[in-house]
Amino acid sequence: GAVVSQHPSWVICKSGTSVKIECRSLDFQATTMFWYRQFPKQSLMLMATSNEGSKATYEQGVEKDKFLINHASLTLSTLTVTSAHPEDSSFYICSASPGQGATYEQYFGPGTRLTVT
Amino acid sequence: GESVGLHLPTLSVQEGDNSIINCAYSNSASDYFIWYKQESGKGPQFIIDIRSNMDKRQGQRVTVLLNKTVKHLSLQIAATQPGDSAVYFCAENIRSGNKLVFGAGTILRVKS
């Protein structure tokens, strides 16, 4: 149980285009979903927290107009990287939680490798 | 604050030995701690967690110790196996923000 999937697993796009990444909780309802970014040999950095049906809460320094997050249902959240640039190339990881906030266990997806050329 | 590491520390152990991975956390208000294992190109995998009202918790082959006085967390892996080779992250839940903050990570290499 508690499986989280991400799609695509990897994507290559040209600079200036937009890319959408999906995060799904397959066997539970996720009240809260989190989006992280991880650069090579670095830790996971929280980008934003989203609760179903409400606007995402972005961490300081993360541009909400560039990283659009939609959490329209209890099993799906999407992250859209708009007007991607090479510096946005990274490993994007989502996690889903059945409760509110991080005190409930987070189940992580397998990640999406984004390369912007 | 959030931890970022450009050069992850590495712990090399012989297969069968015990491993101890350490983590210093930043916020005395944190009330929940988790250890994750991350293999190359994959998402983090939950290992074990501990709440701030405890100082020790044991799982299968793993033990987490929490010292709130010095804000230190450790993960002990018994009889380390090659499959344990990965990057290990501690994470703390900062109560006020109700979000997880990850530590810098430690690379564990198991030599056969």
Instruction: Write down the pLDDT at residue A101.
Output: 60
Chain A residues touching residue B42 (CB < 8 angstroms): 110-111
| Range ranked top by mean pLDDT from A1-10, A15-24, A70-79, B1-10 | A15-24
b/e per residue, A11-39, with b = 16+ CB within 10 A?
bebeeeeebebbbbbeebebbbbbbbbbe
pLDDT in tens, B11-46: 999 999 999 999 999 888 898 999 999 999 999 999
pLDDT in tens, B67-107: 999 999 999 999 999 999 999 999 998 876 678 999 999 99
Distance CA(A64)–CA(A79), nearest Å, equals 11
What three-state secondary structure class fits B3?
coil
DSSP string, B8-57: --EEEEETTS-EEEEEE---TTEEEEEEEEE-TTS--EEEEEEETT-SEE
Residues 6 or more apart whose CB falls under 8 angstroms from that of A55 comprise none
CA distances from A51 to A27, A56, B88 (A): 18, 7, 28
Angstroms from B99 CA to nearest CA on chain A: 5
Chain B residues touching residue A44 (CB < 8 angstroms): 44, 89, 102
Phi-psi domain of A83 (left: phi exceeds 0; alpha: psi -120 through 50; beta: other): left
Residue of B nearest to A44 (CA): B102
Do residues B21 and B9 make contact, with C-beta atoms less than 8 angstroms apart?
A: no
Instruction: Write down the pLDDT at residue B74.
Output: 97
Chain A residues touching residue B36 (CB < 8 angstroms): 108
Selected residue of A26, A33, A39, A44 to mutate for chain B interface (largest B Cβ count, 10 A): A44
pLDDT in tens, A59-104: 999 999 999 999 989 999 999 999 999 999 999 999 998 876 656 6
